[in-house]
Amino acid sequence: MAKEVNILSYLPPVLHDIKELIQIANIENPVLESLWQEIENTLNNQFVITANEKGASRYEKMLKINVPGTDSLETRKFRILTRFQEQAPYTNRVLKQLLDSLLGQGQYELKRDVAAKTLSVKIELTVKGQFDAVVVMLERITPQNMVLTVELRYNQHSKLAQYTHAQLAAFTHKQLREEVLN
């Protein structure tokens, strides 16, 4: 919220009743409020978390990120943050910290087999909106001699067992497999 401006408050009370000054204040107040709003936007756009559409576009242009038109602002910010988080070469500990910071602790399952040169990441359904950004980030930082597999961790029988058949009948098979159930 930008600062609310009232030019008359800067004038002595004697001048508050003069029609010309009231008209000048009525014209200048919106201009100054929009100026304050632009200053606030400029300050917010210096940080990815508080950036608006214009700020996110600027970061995407700098980082050469192609954005689908259907992405929300939050998804775009997440994609920008993943690009800033990239660092290679990485260690297993750094990779876990990176995934924890991006997805949240416990929101993924990581399996690395050094002998077979494979890296497997299963992402929880609760963060499936960030799936594409995580895939791109992992492809960029994973060594080229490793086979990378990134999947969604679908609902398992053990999760669905807590519901009755009548409750589950309201959903399709695809919904039971791929949607977050409360």
Backbone angles phi, psi at 109, to 5 degrees: -125, 125
- Identify the pLDDT of residue 133: 84
What percentage of residues in the chain have a pLDDT greater than 70? Answer: 87
- Identify the pLDDT of residue 25: 92
What is the maximal distance between C-alpha atoms in the chain?
Answer: 85
Backbone angles phi, psi at 13, to 5 degrees: -55, -25
Residue 94: pLDDT band (50, 70, 90) is confident
Residue 177: pLDDT band (50, 70, 90) is low
- Report the alpha-carbon angle 151-68-80, nearest 5: 70
pLDDT tops 70 at residue 151? yes
Q: In the chain, where are the structural domains located?
A: 7-44, 89-178
The 10s digit of each residue's pLDDT in 59-68 is: 999 998 888 8
pLDDT tops 90 at residue 33? yes
Lowest-confidence region among 103-117, 123-137, 148-162? 148-162
pTM for the predicted model, two decimal places: 0.53
pLDDT tops 80 at residue 148? yes
Provide mean pLDDT across the span 119-131.
82
**Across the strands, what pairs with 120?**
111, 149
pLDDT tops 70 at residue 172? yes
